[in-house]
Amino acid sequence: MSAPDSHTPAPLFSAMDRMTRWLSRDFLGGPRLVKFAWVINFQKGATALWVLALMALYQHTSVAAWVYLGLHGTYGICWLLKDRVFPDPNWEERITFGGAVNAVLFVLGPYWLMPWVLIAGHSSGAPLPLLSAAIAIHTLGIAIMMTADAQKFFTLKLKRGLITSGMFRYVRHPNYLGEMMIYGSYALVVWHWFPVVLLLFVWSSVFLTNMKLKEASMSRYPEWQAYTSRTGMVLPRLFARA
């Protein structure tokens, strides 16, 4: 029996991608009047207002809540800046109204439950040393994500092909690494089991699926095998494969 085509992703990841796309882009059918980017920008840009509203509703003004507001609110501004200067073409796709509603409620909306857990009083938040660690992780994550996305955007504008230098020299998906550090810092601030479970679900389903599909596409390049032998998916490889 012949080996599977390296350009074809595993059936599980293909099925996951089809289901996610149907729920967030095609649900209920109809005209495609909404850009996916508009939905994402709304959720991320409005996060600071959401956290402030929670703080006002629950009269909660702890140090952890203010730190959460500063971190997640700033990330929303950085995302809008990134979309303005070097937008991701993947988010320019037009989606149905039903898909937009699903994306807000079930794809992006659960992230808004993270500050609710903290501000509604289900957690007292992380102690000060861990809040300091969360700020450091978040800062590094923002830098990694923004730099990697900028490098990819401007490099591919000049020349299409496999990017193996800069932020991609040791890690194949530094933008996902940055995102994981960013949202991991929010879970650290909240200091509760729910954000951990939520992020593990998102990372093991959506993030991993997207990375596997991307790698299946990139494997068409002749230098792909050598590149993967010396790099890790989201963390640098300690020992390169022979």
Indicate whether 4 pLDDT > 90: no
47 or 109: which leads in pLDDT:
47
In a domain, 235, yes or no: no
Query: Contact at 8 Å (CB) between 134 and 74?
Result: no
Among candidate residues 8, 24, 16, the one with its CA nearest the CA of residue 208: 16
In a domain, 238, yes or no: no
In a domain, 241, yes or no: no
The pLDDT, as a whole number, for residue 2 is 38
SS3 content of the chain, % helix, strand, coil (to 5): 70, 0, 25
Cα–Cα distance between 192 and 186 in angstroms, integer?
10
Give the other-Cβ count within 10 Å of 183's Cβ: 22
In a domain, 242, yes or no: no
Place of tokens 């830098």: 143
Which residues constitute the domain of residue 20?
A: 11-230
Q: What pTM does this model have?
A: 0.92
Place of tokens 């509604």: 120
Write the pLDDT tens digit of every residue in 176-208: 999 999 999 999 999 999 999 999 999 998 999
Which pLDDT band holds residue 6 (cuts at 50, 70, 90)?
Answer: low
Indicate whether 31 pLDDT > 50: yes
Query: Contact at 8 Å (CB) between 82 and 149?
Result: yes
In a domain, 239, yes or no: no
In a domain, 171, yes or no: yes
In a domain, 117, yes or no: yes
Indicate whether 9 pLDDT > 70: no
Cα–Cα distance between 140 and 91 in angstroms, integer?
24
Query: Contact at 8 Å (CB) between 234 and 171?
Result: yes
In a domain, 163, yes or no: yes
Element (H or E) spanning 57, and its range?
helix 47-58
The segment with the largest mean pLDDT, out of 4-8, 171-175, 238-242, is: 171-175
Domain total of the chain: 1
Query: Contact at 8 Å (CB) between 43 and 104?
Result: yes
